[in-house]
Amino acid sequence: MSRRKKVLVIGLDCAAPELVFEQWRDQLPNFRRVMNDGVWGKLESCIPAITVPAWSSMMASKDPGTLGFYGFRNRGDHSYQKNTLANSNSVKTDRVWDILSRAGKRVITVGVPQTYPPKPVNGIQVGCFLSPSTRNPDRPYTYPVSAMKEIEATVGEYLVDVPNFRTEDKDYLLQQIYTMTEKRFKLVKKWIVEKEWDFFMFVEMGTDRIHHGLWKYHDPTHPKYEVNPKYNNSIRDYYRYIDGEIGQILDTLDDDTTVFIVSDHGAKKMEGGICVNEWLIREGYLVLKTQPTTLTAIDRCEIDWSKTRVWGDGGYYARIFLNVEGREPQGIVKPDAVEVLRSELSAKFAALTDPQGVNIGTTVYRPEDVYKEVHGVPPDLIVYFGDLFWRSVGTVGHGSVYTFENDTGPDDCNHAQFGIVIRHTPDAHEGGRELTGLQLMDVAPTILTHLDVPIPADMQGKAF
C-alpha cells in the first residue's frame, strides 16, 4: 500500500538568501538541518519582486502579466482615476490549493498573500495581511467562518499584520512583530498536529516587516547605519527565533511529509529614492497646472493632461504610464509614437546617476518582453531604479529628483530579486545539494508532483 504523502510549505516573506544561506547559516540549526539533508538554492522572484503578485505567481505558476496584476495597486481601466487593489478577487486562476482541493486533498492555508477574501477550499483558508478585520463575522477572514472562533480560542486576538509597521518606534515594532509571529506559530503548530491535511501552507509576514523597519541597524554599509546595541542584532535574533519555531514544527512531522521553506523575494539596503514624477516634470514629460508646495500624491496633483505625455507611480519599483491618444481620456501621445517614446525613456532611465554623478544601474522592462501574456492594465514600463537599491517615490513637492526620506514612512530596505527555497523530503537524503536557476513559478508544479497530482498544462514553471 502506498504511503500518504504530504507537503508543508513554510513561507517567510522577504527572507533573504544571503542571511539564511551565508551570514547566519551556522546560527540557524534547523534551517541547516533541512538544507544539509535536502536541497536548497536561490529562488528568482517575478518582475516586479513584490509580495503581490509574487506569492500568487508562485502558487499559480503564472507570471504577473498572465495573472493581470502588477502590484497591490493597479489601474482598473485606462481612465486617470480608477485604481483597484489586488486581493483574492483579482486572482482569476487556480492556485495550488484550488487544484489540490478538486483532487480531493485536504488543504490548509494560513496568511498566504492574496487570500482575502478567503475562498472555499477542501479544508481551511485563513486570510492574509490584506484582511481588514479578524473580528467581523459579516466579512470573515477565514473559510469556513467557524475557523475565526477556533483561532480566537487558541491565540486570542489574531494578527494578520503589524499595524503601522512604518514607524520610528522600533520597540513597538519589534514587540508587535513578535506578538504576531508567536500567535501565528502557535496556531500552525497546533493545526499541523491536530488537523487532517495533505497540503499545509502558511506565510509569515514578520520577516518582511522587520527588514523594512530595522535594516539600517543590521547592515553596516547602509547609508543610515547606526550603531545601537539594542537593535543591531534584532533581525538576526528574529531569524534565530524563527529557526527555533521551525525546529519545533520539524519535530512533529512524520517521514511522509516534504517540507518547503520559501520566500517571495529577498531584501537589500535602500540607498535612497528617485522622485520619478519630479524627474518626469524636469524632463518635460509631465506638466502640472500648479506645483504643490508640500508632498502631494500624484493622483492628487492637478495634471495638465493636454501637455502630459508620461506619468509615474511610486513603490519599490516605478510604474510608468504613457498618455496615449485613443487610450487615455485626454491622450496626446500618438499610438505610432509609443515605441519611440518608450525607447527614449528607457535610455534616459538607464543613464540615471546618483547625486554624485555615478550611474546607479537602472533596469527598464517592457511588460510584453517579460510576460507570456499581458492582462489587466499593465504599466507601459516597469523600472528598477539602481537595481532596486533605490526605490521609486511617486509624490511631488520634493524640489529634487532625489530623496533620502520615504514619503510613506520610515523604510530602510528594498526588495531584492532573489528569495530562498529549501526542500526536505525525509527519505530522499539529497545531501544538501545546491539548486540553481529556480524561479517562483517552479514551486507549484513541484508541490503537485510530490502529491501525485497532474500538473495543469498552463502552469509556466517546471517541477524540480
Binding site for Zn ion (CB under 5 A): 13-14, 51, 264
Instruction: Report how far residue 214's alpha carbon sits from residue 233's, in angstroms, rounded to the nearest whole number.
Output: 9
Task: Select 13 or 63, whichever has its Cβ closest to Zn ion.
Answer: 13
Query: Which parts of 225-352 fold into alpha helices (H)?
Result: 234-252, 276-282, 338-350
Task: Select 87 or 403, whichever has its Cβ closest to Zn ion.
Answer: 87
Task: Select 13 or 98, whichever has its Cβ closest to Zn ion.
Answer: 13
The torsion of the CA quartet 424, 428, 429, 430, rounded to 10 degrees, works out to -70
| Residue closest to Zn ion when measured from CB atoms | 51
Task: Select 13 or 313, whichever has its Cβ closest to Zn ion.
Answer: 13
Task: Select 264 or 278, whichever has its Cβ closest to Zn ion.
Answer: 264
Task: Select 197 or 239, whichever has its Cβ closest to Zn ion.
Answer: 239
Q: Are 413 and 18 in contact (CB under 8 A)?
A: no
Provide, rounded to whole angstroms, the least separation between the CB of residue 85 and Zn ion.
16
Instruction: Report how far residue 18's alpha carbon sits from residue 244's, in angstroms, rounded to the nearest whole number.
Output: 19
Spatial neighbors of 13 by CB under 8 A, at least 6 apart, are: 51, 55, 113, 203, 204, 205, 207, 208, 263, 264
Q: Quick one: cell of 413? A: 530596505
Beta bridge partner(s), residue 258: 7
Contacts made by residues 134-139, CB under 8 angstroms, sequence distance 24+: 134/158, 134/159, 134/160
Provide, rounded to whole angstroms, the least separation between the CB of residue 13 and Zn ion.
4
Task: Select 176 or 296, whichever has its Cβ closest to Zn ion.
Answer: 176
Spatial neighbors of 442 by CB under 8 A, at least 6 apart, are: 43, 61, 461, 462, 463, 464
Instruction: Report how far residue 168's alpha carbon sits from residue 170's, in angstroms, rounded to the nearest whole number.
Output: 6
Task: Select 197 or 418, whichever has its Cβ closest to Zn ion.
Answer: 418
Task: Select 328 or 411, whichever has its Cβ closest to Zn ion.
Answer: 411
141 secondary structure, DSSP code: S
Instruction: Report how far residue 277's alpha carbon sits from residue 271's, in angstroms, rounded to the nearest whole number.
Output: 19
Kindly report whether the peptide bond that precedes residue 117 is cis, defined as omega within 30 degrees of 0: yes
Instruction: Report how far residue 54's alpha carbon sits from residue 45's, in angstroms, rounded to the nearest whole number.
Output: 7
Provide, rounded to whole angstroms, the least separation between the CB of residue 444 and Zn ion.
17
Q: Quick one: cell of 303? A: 495634471
Provide, rounded to whole angstroms, the least separation between the CB of residue 317 and Zn ion.
13
